[in-house]
Structure 1
Amino acid sequence: MTKQLFPLALGGLAIGTTEFIIMGLLPDVAKDLGVTIPVAGHLISAYAFGVVVGAPILVALSSKFPPKNILIVYMILFTLFNALAILTPDYNTLLMSRFFAGLPHGAFFGVGTIVAIKLAKKGKEAQAVASMFTGLTVAILVAVPIVTYIGHHLHWKYAFGIVSILGAFTIFFLYLYMPKLKSLKTVTFKEEIEFFLTIKAWHILTIVAIGFGGLFAWFSYIAPLLINISNFDPDKISYLMVVAGAGMVVGNILGGYLADKRNPIKVAIYLLSLMVIFLILVFFLSENQILSIALTFICGVLAMSIGTPINMVMVKSAKNSEMLGAAFIQAAFNVANSLGALFGGFPLLFGLSYNYPALVGACMAFIGVILTFAFYKKYKKEEF
């Protein structure tokens, strides 16, 4: 990773930390603010909704400016709204801060994706994008467990204080290391948005929303799966989450490498197909603790390896709309998160065991395979 890409990775670390810490701190937040845990769970949805709303709007409003300035402004907004969570006097204020903190998420990664590609050596573009997402994987592997521990044992507001500090460091290193590139926008907003009125654009976004939803159907219920099916002690779950995080770190590197060496559409088909197989294995084999650990790692690898290839498909498809396309992809990932958690929870409502969300995830990933294969057949003559 070059020093020019380092601020993007650091921003990914800050964003990944704030996105996932709330899940582990829900009981603490609920108790402190006098709400139930299900109500506190709306803090997760508020952030995701902020990502979906903010990604296209912020990119559309700011893409005519130099990307260095844009990224710094996004991180200022991110830092301020996470700092607001420290000062929040009640649940409603925290809910608002979570929504506004989510607004720059997709926009940062959208602009960052194109900047990473512009800064990369020829033939290394996907690996440069993967470098930016290294921060996100490190957040899952290291930062989230540590910050969650601090927030639980001291006060949950300390967690958002740490996130704000990470945001401030990102602003500093963006100013220090990010080169002054010219505006990346070469067309009018009307021309830029035209791509997203096509079937092709929504085909890609549907692949993400449904196919990647399969990954989140598994990941959303991984803790109760490991406790109730694999019979791990609840105290061991944090360590097992590190196994999943380590897999994601490996997967991020693998996805970037494969997307540079092969057609990214084919790579996405192969990886989603493997996800179908391994989620089915999770359903059948999770009672065995050794196999359960191995499957947790492998599914972590697959979960993160598909992200960069599908990002490259969007960027190469959205000619003159690359930033907006990359931002829309981030919005679609958050839709996938919500759909995966929703559909994965349906079997549990009917009293089925905690390995069934993985089976639902396999079905969603299989639909993703079909959609991706259909995309490849339709557009295989185009250069990806």
Structure 2
Amino acid sequence: MNYNVTIVKKPGSNRLYTSYQFNGKPVVRSTGLPDTSVNRAHINKFIIPKYIAALVEGRDPTAVARKLSYYLDKVLENSKNRGKSYSTQATYASGAKKALELLGDRPINTYKTCEIEKMIDSMVSKRKNSQKTISTYLAPLSLAFDEAIKNEEVGVDRNPVTLATRPKREKEEKMKPFTLAEVMNMIHAAPGEFKKFLILAFFTGIRHGEVLGIQRGDLDIENNIISINKQFNITYSQENAKLKTHKNKSQYDSKVPSIIWGLLGELPTVPNANVIDRTNMKKAKRDWIREEWGKALFEAGIKAEGRTPYVTRHTFVSIALSTKVNPLLVTNNTGHTDLKMIEKAYGTLDLQKEDFEDLSDMIQKQISAQDAGKLAS
């Protein structure tokens, strides 16, 4: 049998094709690659040997391949087996669903780089997604092609996602933090459980999922410490208490200003009781946070100016650093392993000039006893 596979070109096309015989019939398939010396060398070295191996086994090299959905499922399975966080698994699942919606489900060796670029253009123009959001959606798709390459899927020799041209990343404007007066007004305007949420978010700098995951047993009131060891996934209604707080630390202690205990009001007595009661939160917690955030802004008479609930962390860091709280303390409270992220957002830090070691000193020097009394009422 003839196992000869050669490179050919079609008239009027700049793409390279492969020519071979299968079941006695001539077959010509596009590689999707432009005619360059580098691509010809790549086809000779990597693609043709795979085609010949498939022909020896009696398979048409380019006609049989597993579908995109098969490899996306592999990516989701791997993310679970390798201990990826619940939020990462959810993000991958969302990205996989989006890829199938926009690209369709075909044999994985039929997708071209131009299709990926068209998908990206669609997301940019019609959906107005940021580059960060687009990269999030593309992550599981790129991993799916990596899986196909690792599995030596015939016809998949390069990852079209990594080859695709993406829009130039626009410089992101830094989110404007709240002033301490605005923080006080927001907290004073917020009702019930959302008031507790804002107190913990603004005065500790910890992540929103971590705030919702705090239980009474995590509070060390005598030493002004909150142990962060789990979080509530704010995207979904269900809870995963075993979720790690972030990639590098599964648990850390957040040193908090003593003033917050009086502001939080009555706390539960049972160790595993949630500090913020989620009983009546029927919707996804992110939706609950956004909805209550809008109400609090309105009641406080504060313009959002593009500031989302995430600004609580930004505000904490901004107020702390502007009032000379030690950056190492700020870094620990926000769950980072080093100063890199703080420096990236706020510039070079001078550790020698930071003289406040206690967050309580910083907060209490700026909040009058009268204001604190209003908040607690």
User: Structure 1 length as normaliser, TM-score?
Assistant: 0.24
Structure with the bigger RCO (C-alpha within 8 Å, sep 6+) is 1
Which of the two has greater helix per residue? 1
Which of the two has greater strand per residue? 2
User: Structure 2 length as normaliser, TM-score?
Assistant: 0.24
